[in-house]
Amino acid sequence: MAVRIRLRRTGLKGQASYRIVVADSRSPRDGRFLENIGHYNPRTAPATVEVNDERARYWLSQGALPSDAVARILEKKGLIANRRLRQNQPKVVEKEADKPAPPAA
């Protein structure tokens, strides 16, 4: 079973808050989960984040992969090392002057 640590949406329409849960990667976003390890409310200033550090470390040690959003939260809490998230990087275009000249025939 592939296990993920991810956000589970709760709250009213337009007033979202999230629970940080450990769930099977194949289950729906708001479906069955194995354990609730915290909550995240982005609507407060600053955003409220509560995470059970001990349980988060346990699940990470068991091979659970955090989603990108949860990874950012865990990085800010110091539970995981900073990791580079997948981002679109601009391609480097070589200039004509930098290319070597073709061999003389």
Tell me the two tokens of residue 85: 């998230």
| pLDDT, tens only, 65-101 | 999 999 999 998 888 877 665 566 677 776 666 667 6
* Nearest CA among 82, 74, 76, 88 for reference residue 38: 74
The pTM score is: 0.72
| pLDDT, tens only, 38-58 | 999 999 999 899 999 999 999
With beta carbons less than 8 A apart as the criterion, state whether 42 and 61 touch: no
| 35 beta partners | 22
With beta carbons less than 8 A apart as the criterion, state whether 3 and 24 touch: yes
Q: Which domains does the chain have, with CATH numbers?
A: 3-77 (3.30.1320.10)
